[in-house]
Amino acid sequence: MTTPVFPNTNLLIAGERFPASNGAVHPTINPATAEKLIDVASATAEDARKAVDAAHNAFRHGPWPGLPATERGRILYKLADLLETHADEVATLESLDNGKPFFESRRIDVPLAVEALRYYAGWANKVHGEVLPVRGQFHTYTRHEPLGVVAAITPWNFPLLLSVYKVAAALTVGNTVVLKPAELTPLSCLRFGELGIEAGLPPGVLNILTGKGSVAGQALLEDPRVAKVAFTGSTPVGKSIMKSAADTLKRLSLELGGKSANIVFGDADLKAAVRGAINGIFYGKGEICTAGSRLLLHESIHDEFVEMLKTTAEGMKQGDPFDPKTRIGAQVSEAHMNSILAYIAQGCDQGARLVTGGERNVIGNGFFVKPTIFDNVTPGMTIAQEEIFGPVVAVMKFSSDDDAIALANDHMYGLAAGLWTNDLRRAHRLSARLEAGTVWVNTYNFYDPAAPFGGYKQSGFGRELGMHALSEYTQTKTVWIDLN
Ligand code: TAP
Q: What is the pLDDT of residues 290-347, one digit of tens each?
A: 999 999 999 999 999 999 999 999 999 999 999 999 999 999 999 999 999 999 999 9
Q: What's the CA-to-centroid distance between 293 and ligand 1, angstroms?
A: 19
CB of 339 within 6 A of ligand 1: the answer is no
Task: Determine the Cα–Cα distance for residues 25 and 9; give it in Å rounded to an integer.
Answer: 9
Mutate to test the pocket of ligand 1, among 232, 239, 392 (most ligand atoms within 8 A of CB): 232
Query: What is the CA(231)–ligand 1 centre distance, in A?
Result: 8
The reported pLDDT for the residue numbered 4 is 84
Indicate if 94 belongs to the active site.
Answer: no
pLDDT above 90 coverage of the chain, percent: 99
- Alpha-carbon 205 to chain mean position: 22
pLDDT digits (tens, 9 = 90+) for 388-438: 999 999 999 999 999 999 999 999 999 999 999 999 999 999 999 999 999
Contact 413, 388 (CB under 8 A): no
| pLDDT, averaged across the chain | 98
pLDDT digits (tens, 9 = 90+) for 168-204: 999 999 999 999 999 999 999 999 999 999 999 999 9
The pLDDT score that the predictor gives to residue 2 is 67
Q: Indicate if the pLDDT at residue 3 is higher than 90.
A: no
* Ligand 1 centre distance from Cα of residue 233 (Å): 3
Per-domain boundaries in the chain: 11-256+459-480, 261-448
CATH 3.40.309.10 fits 261-448, yes or no: yes
User: Does residue 456's CB lie within 6 angstroms of at least one atom of ligand 1?
Assistant: no
Is 273's C-beta closer than 6 angstroms to any atom of ligand 1?
no
Rounded average pLDDT over 65-80: 98
Out of 115, 289, 387, 472, the active site residue is 289
Given a contact cutoff of 8 angstroms between Cβ atoms, the answer to whether 455 and 256 are in contact is yes
The mean per-residue pLDDT over the stretch 81-94 comes to 98
189 is known as an active-site residue? no
Average pLDDT over residues 444-468: 97
Per-residue pLDDT at 390: 98
Give the pLDDT of residue 74.
98
How distant, in Å, are the alpha carbons of 361, 432, 454, 460 from that of 435?
36, 8, 12, 13
Residue 91: its pLDDT value, please? 98
pTM, to two decimals: 0.97
Cα separation of 303 and 298, whole Å? 10
For the segment 39-50, the average pLDDT, to the nearest whole number, is: 98
Q: Tell me the best of 42, 237, 281, 294 to mutate to test the pocket of ligand 1, counting ligand atoms within 8 Å of each CB and taking the most.
A: 237
Classify domain 11-256+459-480 at the CATH topology level: Aldehyde Dehydrogenase; Chain A, domain 1 (3.40.605)
State in Å: Cα 275 to ligand 1 middle. Answer: 29
Q: Whose CA is nearest to atom 15 of ligand 1?
A: 213
Same fold, 11-256+459-480 and 261-448: no
